[in-house]
């Protein structure tokens, strides 16, 4: 009996020593302690399948919701309608319908130098002027229509167009309580963000998204134009929201304001 107990005790000690030796080998450092071997947990095939399914569902949900998020329409009470000039024909057509249906008093076209031109000293060379011409041909009375060009744009075209509009308001002593801005499709959320940043809290900025005729917004992933539009605008919105820090405006006293 005692012999059996001693044998079992020795067997247990040997097993414990073996486990300790195995752990010592597994955790023993190599290359002067730079490398160490350890056990780790890993995903089983069920775990990998569940992870893949979760990623697919998340991607599908993102595909269904990202375009409505970017192509937002949210009007505010306003008598002034602003259209971004680079939207050209379909933007002008949408602006005409909006102007007539919304009972606006003024229609302003913004925009910088035409594509391929970095600077412009002439109003006629800007997207704002071209858009105003299209709007006039579409039936908007010239007394209600005004081009507000931004003649120099190196980058941040939308923001610089909004600054030109802000300066236009100030020079004429206009203080509208709100404006609605019409722009292209998935560009809408970024446009509202940048116009609000430029115009400040005293002017409420509403936004109107005009559908891009080059692709079906409900199935944007089915066309290369839709994929480019959504991906580009998604990245641009994140940049504008998180990484864009415009220079502060200097006041007459030398201090700065947002």
Q: Which pLDDT belongs to residue 102?
A: 87
12-22 burial, b for 16+ CB within 10 Å, e for fewer?
A: eeeeeeeeeee
Number of domains in the chain: 1
- Within-domain flag for 85: yes
Compute CA distances 113 → 22, 51, 89, 191, whole Å: 73, 49, 17, 18
Q: Which pLDDT belongs to residue 27?
A: 56
Q: Facing residues of 152 across strands?
A: 119
Digit-by-digit pLDDT tens for the chain (258 residues) are 555 544 444 454 555 455 455 555 555 666 676 777 777 788 888 888 888 888 888 888 877 889 999 999 999 999 999 999 988 788 889 999 999 998 899 999 999 887 655 555 566 778 999 999 999 998 899 999 999 998 766 678 899 999 999 999 999 999 999 999 999 999 999 999 999 999 999 999 999 999 999 999 889 999 999 999 999 999 999 999 998 888 766 544 444 444
Angle at 30 between CA 28 and CA 32, to 5 degrees: 115
- Within-domain flag for 72: yes
- Cα–Cα distance for residue pair 219/226, rounded to 1 Å: 8
- Within-domain flag for 23: no
27 backbone dihedrals φ, ψ, rounded to 5°: -105, 5
Q: Which pLDDT belongs to residue 103?
A: 87
- 109, two tokens: 């076209």
Residue range of the domain that includes 156? 68-245
- Within-domain flag for 186: yes
Other CB atoms closer than 10 Å to residue 128's CB: what's the count? 28
Q: How many CA atoms lie within 13 A of 210 on its CB side?
A: 23
Other CB atoms closer than 10 Å to residue 208's CB: what's the count? 22
- Cα–Cα distance for residue pair 63/37, rounded to 1 Å: 42
Per the document, the length of the chain is 258
- Cα–Cα distance for residue pair 163/149, rounded to 1 Å: 10
- Within-domain flag for 229: yes
Q: Which pLDDT belongs to residue 89?
A: 86
Other CB atoms closer than 10 Å to residue 166's CB: what's the count? 17
- Within-domain flag for 224: yes
Q: Which pLDDT belongs to residue 63?
A: 79
- Within-domain flag for 27: no
- Within-domain flag for 146: yes
- Cα–Cα distance for residue pair 97/140, rounded to 1 Å: 10
**CATH number for position 175:** 3.40.50.620
Q: Which pLDDT belongs to residue 256?
A: 47
CB 135 within 8 A of CB 95: yes
* Helices within 103-213 (DSSP H only): 127-137, 157-171, 188-199
């Amino acid at each position: 009996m005692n012999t059996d107990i001693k044998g079992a005790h020795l067997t247990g000690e040997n097993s414990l020593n073996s486990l300790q030796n195995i752990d010592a080998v597994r955790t023993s450092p190599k290359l002067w302690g730079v490398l160490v071997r350890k056990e780790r947990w890993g995903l089983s095939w069920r775990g990998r399948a569940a992870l893949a399914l979760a990623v697919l569902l998340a991607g599908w949900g993102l595909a269904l919701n990202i375009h409505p998020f970017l192509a937002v329409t949210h009007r505010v009470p306003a008598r002034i309608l602003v259209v971004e000039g680079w939207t050209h024909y379909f933007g002008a057509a949408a602006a005409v319908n909006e102007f007539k249906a919304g009972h606006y008093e003024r229609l302003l076209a913004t925009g910088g130098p035409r594509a391929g031109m970095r600077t412009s000293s002439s109003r006629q060379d800007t997207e704002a002027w071209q858009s105003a011409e299209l709007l006039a041909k579409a039936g908007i009375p010239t007394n209600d229509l005004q081009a507000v060009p931004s003649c120099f744009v190196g980058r941040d075209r939308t923001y610089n167009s909004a600054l030109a509009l802000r300066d236009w308001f100030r020079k004429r002593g206009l203080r509208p309580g709100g404006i609605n801005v019409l722009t292209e499709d998935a560009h809408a959320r970024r446009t509202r963000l940048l116009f609000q940043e430029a115009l400040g809290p005293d002017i409420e900025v509403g936004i109107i998204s005009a559908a891009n005729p080059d692709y079906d917004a409900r199935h944007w992933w089915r066309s290369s134009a839709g994929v480019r539009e959504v991906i580009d605008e998604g990245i641009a919105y994140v940049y504008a929201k998180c990484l864009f820090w415009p220079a502060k405006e200097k006041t007459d006293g030398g201090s700065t304001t947002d």
